[in-house]
Each structure stands twice: as structure tokens, then as C-alpha cells.
């Protein structure tokens, strides 16, 4: 099958939003707008890869916004949108490309399916919506009414064969149309239309932002999951805890890297989403997980939740151990867990307690951790 790559154009400055940073890096719900757009496309089973084009000087903001999401090497765009898309196409190579605006954070999977079905029979395909309002030409006063019968609003993502879009840009020369379908049509190529979705409306003004926040909140309900894990001390240190290596006289026994914190959080997230437990997804009997880094497990749980349209709101984890002391490592653990989950550290709490020398942890035979995860998911999922 032809490779499908989503190319998210995130090189704009977002001046009309009136914020102190480009709109694609602002938080919408629990994550930046760019992260929403990436998650929507990454989670679709027919999309093989996602690439992101950013503006010059935006790499630090993009890295924070994207966290551990796999988007390959970031592509630096140009002054005009056409320059950014050209740079992205050069990084992709071939196949089918879905060119998408980062400022359209919600992309329903049905739209992607319709586009990919249509591109099998056409040079390109775009999602469109009919225009419901009366349309007129006006300069202060109404000059003339416009027949809206054949008029539509074009949205993104837009689907093209990479070689066709490159050809169209070659025909356009130095001109820089602001829409890829314009380039294709002007080059004489056929672009099909498919049904769009109001969820794809672009974030341009503060009013759009309010609408997006309300739409996000209306679709989701809060759910809570709990996780618990324990590992015995075994062999020499160091040990892994909270995704970081901690110096200690002893290590922890386990099939993977025995990261008790990441295991507990993973189970809490899977429980909140009703997706079973860590053992179902990563059986200890499977040799491929022997010695595996536990951040793989945690990132997988987060991806499953986002594929289901969920949002991770908050993580709280308590480490139960006499030693090592968590305090000196708390900040690094919070940052690492947040990075794996694609959150800010403000959404993660790590704390510790002892059992006053009672039980196996009190006898320093091992470490336990319990975690609570709060997420939001659509009703009925």
C-alpha cells in the first residue's frame, strides 16, 4: 500500500489571536494545539507517519509542545506557507501526503478515511462544507448578492500524491498561493471534494478559542483509575524509578527494568480508560520485554487513551519505601513522567512515604508505588 504521511504546517506566528506566543503552542485543555493536531493524525490506523513544519526559531517551543511524540526531525519552514509546504514535501519523499494546519486541532477520523478513499481515484482531495449564510459582495454597503449554490468552504487536511503536488508547485514558480488545492487546480490537476466537518474549523480569533474549549469540554467526562506495583530488591544498584536512574546499593528485580513508579502509573491510566492492565499489554512471559525500559509501557498507555479521544488530566503517585529517598529526585521524576506522557510537569505529582519499618518495605526488602490517574474521555467509550 502507498505510504501515507501527514504533514502538519505549524510555522505561523498567530498574530490575530493576540497571545504572547504562536497559537499552535498554546494549551488547549491539557496539551498544546499542535499536540492535539499530531495526536489526531498519529492515532489514525491509515496514517503511517507524521511530520511537522515549524517556523524559524520555534524549535524549543515545538519540542516542549510535542514531548515524546514521534514526528521525526522537525522541518524548518519559510516566510510563506508555500515555502513551508515545499520544505515538508522535500522531507517526505513520496507517497500520499495529508497537508494539515496545526491550528485545526480536532480532526475526526472519518474525514481522513474519506480523503484517503478519494485520493485513490483523483489527483487530490479536500474536505469541504457547504456555505449556509447569504453571500454578498460589499464595500461598506452591499453591492451585489452572490449565488452560493456551488460555493463551499475548503478545510484541511488535504490529500495529494506527493509527486503531483511537487509538480503543481513547480508550475506555480515563485508565486505562493496560500492553499494547496489552489496550486493543484491552477496546474490543471483534478481535486475531488469530500464531506468536511465543523470540528475542523480553524482557530483564528479569541472567539474561536472559546468555541474550541467549549467543544472539548462538552464531549468528555472525567474518569479515574488506580494502579499499584511492587518490586523486591535484588542485586547491585543503581535502580530505575520514575523514568530516571537513581544511585542505590541495590537494584530491583523484574522482567523489565522494574520501574515501580512507571508501572503503577501505567496501570492507573489503563484502568481509567477501561483497557485492562500492564500484564495484558506487555506479558512478562514475552521475552521481548525482558529488560525493556518502562517508558515504553507508559507511552503506550497514553497513546491508547489519545487514540480513543481521551485527555490525561493529572497523575498522582506515592512511592512507599525506606530508601532511597525520593525528595532529591522528585523534580526530575516529575519532569520525566510528564515528558513521556506529553504533559507539563504541573500535571504530575510524585510524593513518598514509609511504613514506619513495618511490612516488606519497612524491612527494606523492596519498593511499592500506588498511583491515581484522572483522565477525560468521550461518553460511551
HEC states along 16-31? HHCCCCCHHHCEECCE
Residue 170 and residue 82: Cα distance in Å, rounded? 11
Q: Are the beta carbons of 82 and 9 closer than 8 angstroms?
A: no
Q: Are the beta carbons of 1 and 46 closer than 8 angstroms?
A: no
Burial of 316 from C-beta contacts in 10 A (0-12 / 13-18 / 19+) = middle
Strands 158-161 and 96-101: antiparallel
Q: Determine the number of helices (DSSP H) and then strands (DSSP E) in the chain.
A: 12, 19
Confidence check: pLDDT of 378 > 90: no
Confidence check: pLDDT of 14 > 70: no
Confidence check: pLDDT of 276 > 80: yes
Confidence check: pLDDT of 380 > 60: no
The pLDDT score that the predictor gives to residue 29 is 78
What is the pLDDT averaged over residues 3-13? Answer: 93
C-alpha cell, 146: 452572490
The pLDDT score that the predictor gives to residue 109 is 92
What is the pLDDT averaged over residues 314-331? Answer: 96
Q: Are the beta carbons of 106 and 218 closer than 8 angstroms?
A: no
What is the pLDDT averaged over residues 225-240? Answer: 95
For residue range 60-81, list pLDDT tens digits in order: 999 999 988 999 999 999 989 9
Which residue shows C-alpha cell 467526562? 221
For residue range 25-61, list pLDDT tens digits in order: 998 876 899 999 999 999 899 999 999 999 999 999 9
Q: Are the beta carbons of 17 and 202 closer than 8 angstroms?
A: no
Confidence check: pLDDT of 13 > 80: no
Three-point CA angle 200, 202, 207, nearest 5°: 120
User: Residue 20: which pLDDT band, with cuts at 50, 70 and 90?
Assistant: confident
Residue 305 and residue 187: Cα distance in Å, rounded? 42
Residue 299 and residue 312: Cα distance in Å, rounded? 12
Query: Residue 376 in 3-state DSSP?
Result: strand
For residue range 126-157, list pLDDT tens digits in order: 999 999 889 999 999 999 999 888 899 999 99
C-alpha cell, 27: 494549551
The rounded radius of gyration (Å) of the Cα atoms in the chain is 24
C-alpha cell, 219: 464531549
221 to each of 216, 272, 380, how far by Cα in Å?
A: 10, 11, 10
191 to each of 86, 110, 176, 185, how far by Cα in Å?
A: 19, 19, 19, 7
Confidence check: pLDDT of 17 > 80: no
The pLDDT mean for the chain works out to 92
Residue 363 and residue 381: Cα distance in Å, rounded? 43
Q: Are the beta carbons of 49 and 91 closer than 8 angstroms?
A: no
What is the pLDDT averaged over residues 252-259? Answer: 92
The pLDDT score that the predictor gives to residue 19 is 62
Beta bridge partners of residue 220, listed in sequence order: 378
Percent of the chain residues topping a pLDDT of 70? 97
The pLDDT score that the predictor gives to residue 15 is 59
C-alpha cell, 166: 511537487
- Please tell me the pTM assigned to this model: 0.65
User: Which are the contacts of 312, defined by CB distance < 8 A and separation ≥ 6?
Assistant: 30, 269, 302, 305, 341, 343, 347, 373, 374, 375
C-alpha cell, 180: 494547496
Q: Are the beta carbons of 80 and 176 closer than 8 angstroms?
A: yes
For residue range 170-223, list pLDDT tens digits in order: 998 887 777 899 999 999 999 999 999 999 999 999 999 999 988 887 878 899
**Cβ burial 14-42 (10 Å sphere, 16+ → b, else e):** beebeeeebbbbbebbbbbbbbbbbbbbb
Strands 311-320 and 239-241: unpaired
Amino acid at each position: 500500500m502507498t505510504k501515507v504521511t501527514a504533514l502538519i504546517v505549524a510555522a505561523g506566528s498567530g498574530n490575530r489571536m493576540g497571545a504572547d506566543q504562536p497559537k499552535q503552542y498554546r494549551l488547549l485543555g491539557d496539551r498544546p494545539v499542535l499536540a492535539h493536531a499530531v495526536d489526531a493524525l498519529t492515532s489514525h490506523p491509515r496514517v503511517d507517519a507524521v511530520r511537522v513544519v515549524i517556523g524559524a526559531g520555534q524549535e524549543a517551543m515545538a519540542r516542549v509542545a510535542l514531548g515524546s511524540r514521534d514526528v521525526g526531525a522537525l522541518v524548518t519552514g519559510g516566510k510563506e506557507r508555500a515555502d513551508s509546504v515545499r520544505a515538508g514535501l522535500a522531507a517526505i519523499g513520496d507517497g500520499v501526503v495529508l497537508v494539515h494546519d496545526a491550528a485545526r486541532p480536532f480532526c475526526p477520523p472519518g474525514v481522513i478515511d474519506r480523503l484517503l478513499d478519494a485520493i485513490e481515484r483523483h489527483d487530490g482531495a479536500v474536505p469541504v462544507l457547504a456555505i449556509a449564510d447569504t453571500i454578498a459582495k460589499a464595500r461598506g454597503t452591499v453591492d451585489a448578492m452572490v449565488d452560493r449554490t456551488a460555493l463551499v468552504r475548503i478545510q484541511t487536511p488535504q490529500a495529494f500524491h506527493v509527486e503531483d503536488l511537487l509538480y503543481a508547485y513547480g508550475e506555480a514558480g515563485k508565486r505562493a498561493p496560500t492553499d494547496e488545492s489552489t496550486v493543484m487546480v491552477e496546474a490543471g490537476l483534478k481535486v475531488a471534494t469530500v464531506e468536511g466537518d465543523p470540528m475542523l474549523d480553524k482557530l483564528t480569533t479569541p472567539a474561536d478559542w472559546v468555541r474550541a474549549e467549549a467543544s472539548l469540554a462538552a464531549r468528555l467526562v472525567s474518569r479515574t483509575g488506580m494502579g499499584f506495583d511492587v518490586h523486591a530488591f535484588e542485586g547491585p544498584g543503581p535502580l530505575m524509578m520514575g523514568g530516571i536512574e537513581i544511585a542505590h546499593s541495590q537494584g530491583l528485580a523484574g522482567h523489565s527494568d522494574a520501574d515501580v513508579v512507571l508501572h503503577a502509573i501505567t496501570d492507573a491510566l489503563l484502568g481509567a480508560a477501561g483497557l485492562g492492565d500492564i500484564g495484558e499489554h506487555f506479558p512478562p512471559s514475552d521475552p521481548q520485554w525482558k529488560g525493556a525500559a518502562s517508558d515504553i509501557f507508559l507511552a503506550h498507555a497514553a497513546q491508547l487513551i489519545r487514540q480513543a479521544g481521551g485527555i490525561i488530566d493529572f497523575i498522582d503517585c506515592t512511592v512507599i519505601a525506606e530508601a532511597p529517598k525520593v525528595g532529591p529526585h522528585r523534580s526530575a521524576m516529575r519532569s520525566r513522567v510528564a515528558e513521556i506522557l506529553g504533559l507539563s510537569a504541573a500535571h504530575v505529582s510524585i510524593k513518598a512515604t514509609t511504613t514506619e519499618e513495618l511490612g516488606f518495605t519497612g524491612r527494606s526488602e523492596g519498593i511499592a508505588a500506588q498511583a491515581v490517574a484522572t483522565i477525560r474521555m468521550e461518553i460511551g467509550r
